């Protein structure tokens, strides 16, 4: 088993990465000083695949676990289903030393983390991420939240988990499209931080797509190390943490315009990664050959790299102007200078983006 430490003073925690490790989670959290009453939060899809194993494991370790499921889908990451979690926790008398175990993808991780951060002014939670996106991104770093009908992730907290438990075997049942969407975030880490990771993604495509154990462990571990390092430096995103948003300014705008229906998050980010690299080239920050390498890698994993012709460019610009990071019509972008290094660039004029998209 591999371990990555997220250093945050008294809120530090481990990310454990291994194959077929679900059954030992109970033993691992035994020493956490928790009350015996805990809850596993999941959705029916993931719970039917892995729920019993996690339940067995915590029961064997002496916990009395209840199960809370919420329906499968981004649409259920909302206040109503959060309320449902609180109802169950209160009904079953979970206390201030109880813990929640989030078993699922980013949706389950985010809503469970939010519930944990607010229930009785904050209790422990453990992330057991089962999508690649959650394993390399959403389970690490302590951003929690639910959606509001007027905006995604608009209600949330920073609340770090006590442990992230990544069983890479769970990826075997993950639909291929979801796997690829998670890979977009891995490619992002390569571009912003680590050219060796980028090279590895270029040279080991088949191994990765076939879930070769060593290759998958390497890319997850490296991604978690990078996220852990960035988050340790800037937990609340007042500075460097924003580099993790590379590809996301344009990616989010695409998701908004297509009403979150046409693309998975990672697919929209894949387009954003390519276009924001091209923007960087227009500003003379990066060579064209590097931009083409990024685009080629995205395409080699079967992900989209361009905004499709039927989407009106003006519709993409509007959500970007409304973006909470936009100030007075000028946008902040994370722009690569070469593969493995980025800079935060403020004050990019809308006209410039119009040119980029209109090319
Ligand atoms: N907190 C953060 O820092 C952060 C970062 C990025 C994304 N997010 C959030 O994460 C969410 C997206 O997460 P996601 O991409 O994991 O989506 P998801 O949680 O909706 O999971 C995708 C689908 O895969 C299914 N699934 C999960 N694990 C499976 C498995 N092992 N086998 C078979 N099916 C499985 C799920 O039931 C679901 O249908 C969004 O809500 C986004 O806002 C949060
Ligand atoms: Zn993302």
Is residue 254 within 8 Å of 276, Cβ to Cβ? Answer: no
Mean pLDDT of the chain: 95
Query: What single DSSP character describes residue 44?
Result: H
Query: Residue 128's pLDDT is what?
Result: 98
| pLDDT mean over 90-97 | 98
Between the CA of 261 and the centroid of ligand 1 the distance, in Å, is: 15
Between the CA of 111 and the centroid of ligand 1 the distance, in Å, is: 11
Of the chain, the percentage scoring pLDDT greater than 90 comes to 89
Q: Tell which residue, 79, 81, 170, 78, has the closest CA to residue 133.
A: 170
β-pairing, 99-104 vs 64-69, is unpaired
Task: Give per-residue burial for 144-174: e unless 16+ CB within 10 Å, then b.
Answer: bbbbeeeeeeeebebbbbbbbbbbbbbbeeb
Residue pLDDT, tens place only, 5-56: 999 999 999 999 999 999 999 999 999 999 999 999 999 999 999 999 999 9
- Retrieve residue 188's tokens: 């992002």
Between the CA of 58 and the centroid of ligand 2 the distance, in Å, is: 31
Q: Is the Cβ atom of 173 under 6 angstroms away from ligand 1? A: yes
Q: Tell which residue, 68, 208, 48, 224, has the closest CA to residue 134.
A: 224
Place of tokens 């593969």: 339
Q: Whole-prediction pTM value?
A: 0.97
Query: Residue 325's pLDDT is what?
Result: 61
Q: Do domains 2-173 and 176-358 have the same CATH topology?
A: no
Pick the atom of ligand 1 nearest to 182's CA: 15
Q: Is the pLDDT of residue 293 over 90?
A: yes
Q: Is the pLDDT of residue 197 over 80?
A: yes
Q: Is the Cβ atom of 247 under 6 angstroms away from ligand 1? A: no
Confidence of residue 328 (pLDDT cuts 50, 70, 90): low
Angle at 169 between CA 304 and CA 89, to 5 degrees: 95
Confidence of residue 355 (pLDDT cuts 50, 70, 90): confident
Catalytic annotation, residues: 121, 143, 185, 227, 237, 241, 245, 248, 252, 265
Q: Is the pLDDT of residue 234 over 90?
A: yes
**Interaxial angle between packed helices 79-91 and 106-118, expressed in degrees from 0 to 180 and rounded to the nearest 10:** 60
| pLDDT mean over 341-351 | 89
Q: Where are the domains of the chain?
A: 2-173, 176-358
CATH architecture of the domain covering 2-173: 3-Layer(aba) Sandwich (3.40)
Say which ligand is closest to the CA of 266.
2
Atom 21 of ligand 1, nearest CA residue: 105
CB atoms within 10 A of CB 318: 13
β-pairing, 330-338 vs 341-349, is antiparallel
Q: Is the pLDDT of residue 330 over 80?
A: no
What's 176-358's CATH class?
A: mainly alpha
Say which ligand is closest to the CA of 182.
1
Which residues neighbour 214 within 8 Å (Cβ) at sequence distance 6 or greater?
207
| pLDDT mean over 70-90 | 98
* DSSP secondary structure string for all residues of 303-319: ---S--TTS-HHHHHHH
Query: Residue 323's pLDDT is what?
Result: 67
Q: Is the Cβ atom of 135 under 6 angstroms away from ligand 1? A: no
CA dist., res. 75 & res. 58, Å (int): 29
């Amino acid at each position: 088993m591999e371990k990555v430490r997220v250093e945050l003073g008294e809120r530090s925690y481990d990310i454990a990465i291994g194959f077929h490790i679900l059954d030992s989670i109970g033993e691992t959290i035994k020493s956490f000083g928790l009350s015996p009453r805990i809850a596993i939060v999941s959705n029916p899809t993931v719970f039917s695949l892995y729920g019993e194993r996690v339940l067995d494991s915590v029961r064997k370790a002496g916990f009395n676990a209840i199960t809370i499921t919420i329906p499968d889908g981004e649409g259920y990451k909302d206040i109503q289903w959060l309320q449902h979690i609180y109802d169950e926790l209160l009904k079953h008398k979970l206390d201030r030393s109880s813990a929640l175990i989030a078993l699922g993808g980013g949706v389950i991780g985010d809503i469970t983390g939010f519930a944990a951060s607010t229930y009785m002014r904050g209790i422990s939670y453990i992330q057991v991420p089962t999508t690649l996106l959650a394993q390399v991104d959403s389970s690490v770093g302590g951003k929690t939240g639910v959606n509001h009908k007027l905006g995604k992730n608009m209600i949330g907290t920073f609340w770090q988990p006590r442990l992230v438990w990544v069983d890479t075997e769970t990826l075997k049942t993950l639909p291929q499209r979801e796997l690829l969407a998670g890979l977009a975030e891995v490619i992002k880490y390569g571009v912003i931080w680590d050219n060796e990771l980028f090279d590895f993604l270029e040279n080991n495509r088949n191994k990765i797509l076939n879930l070769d154990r060593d290759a998958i462990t390497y890319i997850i571990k490296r991604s978690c190390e990078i996220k852990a390092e960035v988050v340790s430096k800037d937990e609340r995103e007042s500075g460097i943490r924003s580099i993790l948003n590379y590809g996301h300014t344009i990616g989010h705008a695409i998701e908004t315009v297509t009403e979150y229906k046409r693309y998975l998050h990672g697919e929209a980010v894949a387009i954003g990664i390519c276009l924001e690299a091209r923007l960087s080239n227009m500003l003379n920050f990066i060579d064209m050959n590097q931009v083409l390498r990024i685009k080629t890698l995205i395409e080699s994993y079967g992900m989209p790299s361009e905004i499709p012709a039927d989407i009106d460019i003006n519709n993409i610009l509007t959500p970007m102007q409304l973006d909470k990071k936009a100030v007075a019509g000028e946008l902040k972008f994370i722009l690569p200078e070469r593969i493995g290094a980025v800079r935060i660039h403020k004050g990019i004029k809308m006209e410039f983006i119009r040119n980029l998209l209109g090319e």
